[in-house]
Amino acid sequence: MSSRETVDFIYEAHERIKPFVHKTPVYTNTTFNNLIGKEAFFKCENLQKTGSFKARGALNTILKLKKSNPNLKGVVAYSSGNHGLATAWASHLAGVKCSVVVPKTTSEFKVTAVQGYGAKVVKCEYDPISRLEACETIATKEGYEIIHTSDHDDVIHGQGTIALEFLQEVPDLDAILVSASGGGMISVFMVEPKGKMAEESLRSGKRLWPNPPQFIDTIAEGLMSQQLGNLTFPIICRLVEKEVFTVGNEDIINGMVFSFRYLKMVIEAAAGATVAAAMSEKLKQMDPGIKKIGVILCGGNIDILKLPWYSSTYQNGPKRFKLF
């Protein structure tokens, strides 16, 4: 698919989903701008339906599916969090049956939220292979369609509507920081947790990750898959800058604490990663022409009874915040 076609599909997706999703606000913060010496714009997908941008892709996919197949029996998704919740919500809205496969370690809070939209929750082992197998078993047995987390054109086009809205609101952004796959007409930089090792693959254009696919050790649950998708990888190679922002858990916590304190926004670790990237030395050192930075706060689904800066592992981390 060419870039031009991709953009057309994103516009179509936007028309399809916009009556049902929020046009999320874009906020700025003087303290943050002073801190980074640039102008930052925060796109608040934490305020999106179901608390994350995933509502966009899931809804686009399910609405298209239902239109092309009015006898659709149901859908099934695998996800430890946002994509599962988004698929449950979108199915409920579209009047479609839904099952969500989650690792058995998933918190009761998330399970209850998914069930709250009438979806069935199926538990599996905590690894990428098990969840895919469980999903395929249900799809075969029930005749359900699988809604992939990212490796599906309709999901990708749905998520792409964030960039569309963002650029409609702030047309002259010089760069966008995203902690997930994305695209647009400007410089898009990927933000990854330590261990994802995306830069090497991006630079070579080859999938250099070890197999079988594994989860990496990060507090950002939304970013724990090491490998980029088979469909998203070539798009990212084409549209996204080769330089990747790699952030550790302490950086992520720094970003989250800033957001809670100054933006008054509850964000999850995956969003904290983009704030951390915007605050990084690496960004400061880049081309001074990069002045207006778009930061996508991808979601706000975090267990607020277990915020990472209260964990014994990171209790000394927040000392760094005295400077702000």
Give the footprint of its own copies on this chain (CB under 8 A): 25, 27, 31, 46-47, 51, 108-109, 112, 116, 257, 260-262, 264-267, 300, 304-305, 307, 309-310, 318, 321-322
Residue 249's Cβ-count burial label (10 Å; 0-12, 13-18, 19+) is buried
Which residue in the list 54, 66, 110, 196 is annotated as catalytic? 54
Least distance from its own copies to the Cβ atom of residue 117, Å: 11
User: Minimum distance from CB of 305 to its own copies (Å)?
Assistant: 5
Cα gap 308→312, rounded to integer Å: 9
| Comparison of 129 and 304: residue with beta carbon closer to its own copies | 304
80 labelled catalytic = yes
Nearer to its own copies, 215 or 309 (CB): 309
Element (H, E) at 44: strand 39-44
User: By C-alpha distance, which of 19, 20, 94 is closest to 50?
Assistant: 20
Q: Which residue number, 119 or 257, has a Cβ lying nearer to its own copies?
A: 257
- The closest of 162, 17, 160 to 93, measured between CA atoms, is 17
Q: What is the DSSP letter of 12?
A: H
Strands 175-178 and 292-297: parallel
Question: Nearer Cβ to its own copies, position 11 or 321?
Answer: 321
Please name the residues in contact with 22: beta carbons below 8 A apart, sequence gap of 6 or more. 47, 48, 49
Would you call 54 a catalytic residue per the annotation? yes
* Helices of type H across 73-119: 82-94, 108-116
Q: Per the residue annotation, which of 80, 181, 187, 280 is the catalytic one? A: 80
Q: C-beta of 260: minimal distance to its own copies in Å?
A: 4
In whole angstroms, the minimum distance from the beta carbon of 310 to its own copies comes to: 5
Q: Which residues are catalytic?
A: 54, 80
